Amino acid sequence: MTLFAARTSVEQVELGDKFAPRFDANGLIPAIVLDVGGHVLMLGYMTAEALELTVRTREAHFWSRSRGALWRKGEHSGFTQTVEQILVDDDQDALVLRVRVAGPGSCHVGYTSCFYRELLLDGTDEQAPLAVGQIELARAFDADAVYAGLPNPTQL
């Protein structure tokens, strides 16, 4: 039994009472992840399978674009994300997950949030690349120890 309704009309998608998600051409739907306090932790992508697993288990599952594989958040670190709420946007092509994290962070670099830097917008030089500045000054955990032996998912 599928958890998702068919997308039959704009009215049904925007105003109806059934979940009819729209996945992109790669079969993905973006999911912004917040902690229960409302702080942004990460942006992940879900396949239909990842979304179904998330709903059924109440643990966040995603599709790793770098590894090309389904994964449960925290499967290596132990810092799982228990889903408290899932918000759906107006045309059902983006999600927001509110989660409780079982550990100090959600970022593979070791920070609490994957959004640990900001663009420095003031005083920018139009001839130079934009600068970024740290907003989360200390790492929440030792990423090298937690992910020892695993490949870094960051791609150049």
Query: For 41-70, what is the mean pLDDT?
Result: 97
User: What is the percent of the chain with per-residue pLDDT over 90, rounded to a whole number?
Assistant: 85
Exposed (0-12), middle (13-18) or buried (19+): which is 51, by Cβ within 10 Å? Answer: buried
CB 36 within 8 A of CB 84: yes
User: What is the percent of the chain with per-residue pLDDT over 70, rounded to a whole number?
Assistant: 99
pLDDT band at 1 (very low <50, low <70, confident <90, very high): low
89 φ/ψ angles, rounded to the nearest 5 degrees:
-75, 175
This prediction's pTM = 0.91
Distance CA 44, CA 32 (A): 6
- Residue type for 37, please? G
Q: Locate the domains of the chain by residue range.
A: 27-104
Residue 13 clears pLDDT 90, i.e. is over it: yes
Q: What is the CATH number of domain 27-104?
A: 3.10.20.810
Rounded (10°) CA dihedral 52, 10, 12, 31:
30
**87-128 pLDDT, tens digit each:** 999 999 999 999 999 999 999 999 999 999 999 998 777 888
**122-145 pLDDT, tens digit each:** 877 788 888 999 999 999 999 999
